[in-house]
Structures are given as structure tokens and as C-alpha cells.
Amino acid sequence: MKDLSINQKLKFSYIFLIIVTVLTIGVIISIIFSGQLVESSKKQLNLRISLISREIEDQLLKVMKITEEVSGNEELIHKLNTEGNENKELFLKNIRETVVKAEDRSPLINRIVLINHNLEVLDPVYNRPLYSSAILNDDDFIEFLRKRYFYYFAKPGTFPIDMKNSSDDNNLTIVLYQRLLDSNYWLMGYQLSVLNKKMLFSSVWTNNRDQLFSGINIFNERNELLFRNGLPFSLNKINEKIDFSKLTGNATINADIDSVKCLVLIKLLPSVNWFVTGIIPYSTIFRNLRIALQLVLLIGLIFTIAAVLVSYSIARTITRPLLKITDAMHSYEKSGNLTRIDIKASGELQYLANVYNRLVTQINDFIRNIYKEQEEKRKAELKSLQYELDYLQAQINPHFIHNTLNAIGYQAEKEGNKVVYDTLKSFNILLRAAISGTEELISIKEEITLVKNFIRIQRLRYGDTFSIEYSIDPELLPEMVPKLILQPLVENAIFHGVEPSENPGRISIVITGKDNLIVIKVIDNGVGMDIPVLNFKSSNRKFNKIGLENVDERIKILFGKKFGLTVESRKNSGTTVKLTIPGRKAGI
């Protein structure tokens, strides 16, 4: 796309806008109307499946009412088990005459067969060994007896001998098994009502002549198929989606049937616990929507062709002057120099020419600035390298001093000058602490050791002109403090407190803790100072560039502005420097 000319880009832009508009309209139509179509279809399908279900249920209820009249005939029920001396054939004939009246009341009933509690088939036709054996050994009858159902619908088959996989729907029946009880609820026998399957489900054919449903399936409570017309379906596929034990009315789900996405409606027949399922593919539901979308696409195609013609005409009008500007720009590729252009145009094209000329001027200035910045950058890098060399030299010098002091100390020890040796040893310890960094935390115990080494050095100069006392809570010795934080305070007490005083000096280091805070005080009995003129910068003697002001700044950086140094002093009454920091034990 980026290699196309402006003329071509304009054409493609118009075509693209038309196509996007048409597709957007199609998507909007699909989103708005597809949901409405599905809901409308659900209502229509629910009405139709409810009609089918109601007609089936009405027929079953009518049959069950007729069979209940037979089971409620006390005289007949007692006859089942009191054959006595009566002729067998006559006995069966009398029973048959009684039940045939019930059969005649519904064309749905092919036959009613009675069995006494001794499992003897009391029917003049079906009491023959071949038939009676088939009836009594039928899987559904055995299940009916084993589970002690009051009534039980068998799966479709041929009666009395079930011809497996029979394809003749006219011969298929559904047997209704019922227990026969007397008024005292004693079991007297069983009643088998043989129902015509085709007639029972005739309402399916009647109410689905327009093929609204692509498939209708009817199942019993055991998920056994009783009837199928059209697309096959199994309730086992949706057991995870629907709890059939809690289904009380209608349910609607989506399912893939033979790789086709379908809408499945399920209707419960509560009186017999059957499920009627109606299947309709979504492609059928959206048939009219597809026609509308095809019409939209056709209109969009017509608009696209018209847009091509219009965009060609508009593009030619716009690009003709632009070609002159591009010719001027191509000259840069040959000469390598950015030069201003002179073009006569109006409106936007003139504006483009002016902007181009301004850009040429700015680019040339920018190139000159880049050369200048590169030169300055080179000088800065050379200066930075010099700083690095100086820094490395500064690192080498303290180590050189440290090694030299070790050599002098060794010579002093060899000559037996213990004072010089001890002083150099103390100074060396302080030097090592200084060159190892000033931002490390050490324990108060270690910090006091550094202070004692500093005092040992000062003794060389001041002798016993001052004394030093330590008052430290032993539990605070593991607490962590910044390294060399006390030395500047002690140094300040010696140089600016004790030294100018004519009296024997006394310095006290007091360290206490409370509420997770550590308070360090350095107290001297020196000359003191006037509070109004007191500031940290008055202490201009420093050790490794660390003074009172720097100590205060270090504390504030490390622990926050609410921590730091405070000074209390009076003229000729000594000075107290107090340092407050948060508690922090080693390893925390």
C-alpha cells in the first residue's frame, strides 16, 4: 500500500470505506435481528411443542383412566385368583369379555392382558406357552417386577414377542404395565395395556406437517427412545447441561447434531415423566436474515462500482498538481542537496510548498546543530575520562597511605616504640573504615571501637588533659548506626569544647533507647557557645570530608527529615550534641 501513488490510494480509500460501511451495516443487522429471530423462534417453537405434548399426554391420561376402571373392578380383581372348579376356557372367556369393553373405549388400546399374582397369563390367546413365556420373560416386565413400580411404560416393540429391529411402525406397540391391588392394597395381579405406537404419536405428524421442526424425539424417564422423526438426538449428550430430575416445564439448549448447530427445546410430560424434544437448526432460523444480508451486499456492490468511478475522477483532480511537487523533490535524489522549490499554486497545494521550504531550512539548521553537538559531546567524553582517571588515582592514594602506615608501624614495633606503634595502628583502623565507604551501617559496638581508636590518636597530642566516659545500654550494642557517625561529634567536642578551655576536660558519650528510637549524646564541659550564633557550619574541621553538617544531612537522607542532630550549649557551661535515629538491629 505504501508503494502506491496518491491517485491509487484515494481510489482504494473510497472503495475500502464503502466496503467497511456495507459490512458494518450487515453486522449491525445480524446483531440486532439475530437475537430477535431466536427469541421469536423460541416462542413459536414452544407453542408448537406444547401442543404436540398436550395431545400425547391427553391420550395417555385417557388410556390410564380406562385402565384404572379395569383395575378398580373388585369383582374382576378377585376372580383373577379364584378360578376354583370353573372350566379354564370359560374362566378366561369371562375375563376377556370384561376387559374387551374397556378396549373398545379407545382405539389406542390394542389389547388389555391380565396376569394373576401367580404370574399366570389370563388371556385366551396369550396364555399359550409360547406367548406367555415371551410376556413373562420380557426385559421390561422383569424390570417392572424388580423395581416394584406401580405403573411402567415399556420401550417400543412388537407384542407379545418382541421382534428386534422391526422397521414396520404399524406393528410397534408400547406396553403399559400396572399393578392390580384390592381395597386392602394386597397385590392381586398385573395389567398389561398394549398401546398402538403410531396412533399414540399421530399428533406429531399432524402438527409438524410444515416441517417446522427438523427433528422430534420422545424419551421416557430412562432416556430410552420412544419415537423419532427427522434428526436424531440423545438426552445423554446434555446430561451435564440439564438436571432432568429438577425439570418442571420447558428447557432450551444449544447442541451440535451431526456437526450442525441446533436449537433444542425440551418439554416434560409430568404425568408420565416423558420428554418431548424438538430440534431446529440455526441455519433454518436465520434463513430470512441471510436473504436480507445478501440484499445488503448486493446494494453494497453497486455502491462500490459507483465509488470507483467517482474516486477516479476526484483523484485525478487532486493529484495533477501534486505530481509537479514530486518532480521537484526527485531532484534531491540526484543532486543530494536540499534546495527550496518555487511553485505556483493555491490553497492546500501552496501551503504544502511553503511547508516543504520551511522544512528544508529547518533540516539544514538541524544538520549544522548536530555537527556542533557532536563536537561538544566529544569534548565532554574526554573530560569524563579525565575525571575517571582522577577518581582511580584518588582510590589508589588511600591504599598507598594505608600500606605505608603498615610499614612505619612495623618499623616502630621493631624499634620498641609502642606509643608510635599503637597510634599508627589506631589511625590505620580509622583509615580502613574511611576508605571502605561512608554509607555502610555498623553496630554501635563497632562504632565505639572506632571512637576509642580516634581518642587513642588524640592522646598523642593532648595527653591526659581530658577524660572520656561511656554510658551505653548493653542491649543497644547490636543496634546498627551509620559508620563514623560518632567520630565527628567527639572531634567537635575536643577541638571546639575542651581544647580552648583552661579546666580539665570531660567528655561523656551516652547512648539510650526508647520507643524503638536510639538517642546518642556527646556531652563536654568545654567553653560552650552562644545559641543565637550556633550552626553546624561553624565546625570547619573535618575527617574524610565529614563534619557536623554532613552528619545531620546523612541522617536525614538515610532515615528521614524528622531525624538528625540537635545542639544545646551555653557560654562557659559546655555543649551537648544529641543524635536521634530509628532502632535497627544487625541482620534486619
For 81-90, how does the pLDDT look when each residue is reduced to its tens digit (9 = 90+)? 775 545 788 8
Q: Could you give the CA distance from residue 447 to residue 135 in angstroms, rounded to a whole number?
A: 107
In terms of average pLDDT, the best of 214-223, 346-355, 389-398 is: 214-223
Residue 9 is predicted with a pLDDT of 67
Q: What is the mean pLDDT of residues 57-83?
A: 82
- The per-residue pLDDT of the chain, averaged, comes to 78
Residue 396: what pLDDT?
40
Highest mean pLDDT among 34-43, 209-218, 333-342: 209-218
538 band by pLDDT with thresholds 50, 70 and 90:
very low
Please say whether the beta carbons of 457 and 430 come within 8 A.
yes
Q: What percent of the chain has pLDDT over 90?
A: 16
Q: CATH says 458-582 is which class?
A: alpha beta
Higher pLDDT among residues 434 and 503, named by residue: 503
CA 532 to chain centre: 65
Q: Is the Cα torsion angle 292, 297, 302, 303 positive or negative in sign?
A: positive
Helix, strand, coil percentages in the chain from 3-state DSSP, rounded to 5 = 55, 20, 25
Q: Which three cell numbers stand for residue 134?
A: 415371551
Please give the residue that has the higher pLDDT: either 219 or 230. Answer: 219
Model confidence at 546: pLDDT above 60? no
Confidence of residue 392 (pLDDT cuts 50, 70, 90): very low
Q: Mapping DSSP to helix (H, G, I), strand (E, B) and coil, where does residue 502 land? A: coil
* 324 pLDDT above the threshold of 70: no
Phi, psi for 85 (deg, rounded to 5): -95, 5
Phi-psi group of 572: left, alpha or beta (phi > 0 → left; psi -120 to 50 → alpha; rest → beta): left
Residues of each domain in the chain carrying CATH 3.30.565.10: 458-582
Of 525, 512, 509, nearest in space to 449 by CA: 509
Residue 542, pLDDT above cutoff 50:
no
pLDDT at 242: 63
Q: What mean pLDDT is predicted for residues 203-229?
A: 81
Confidence grade of residue 543 (pLDDT, cut at 50, 70, 90): very low
Report whether pLDDT(345) > 70.
no
Predicted local distance difference test score (pLDDT) of residue 288: 66
DSSP 84-135: TTS-HHHHHHHHHHHHHHHHTT-TTEEEEEEEETT--EE-TTTTSHHHHHHH
User: Does 468 or 333 have the greater pLDDT score?
Assistant: 468
The whole-number average pLDDT for the span 481-496 is 88
Q: What is the CATH number of domain 72-200?
A: 3.30.450.20
The confidence score (pLDDT) of residue 183 equals 78
**Which H/E stretch holds residue 187?**
strand 187-196
* 143 — pLDDT class (breaks 50, 70, 90): very high
- In the chain, ranges of CATH 3.30.450.20 domains: 72-200
Please give the pLDDT value at position 400: 45
Q: Is the pLDDT reported for residue 509 higher than 90? A: yes
Please determine, for residue 193, whether its predicted confidence score (pLDDT) is greater than 90.
Answer: yes
Q: Which residues 6+ apart lie within 8 Å of 66 measured at CB?
A: 102, 105, 106, 109
Running DSSP on this structure, what letter comes out for residue 279? E
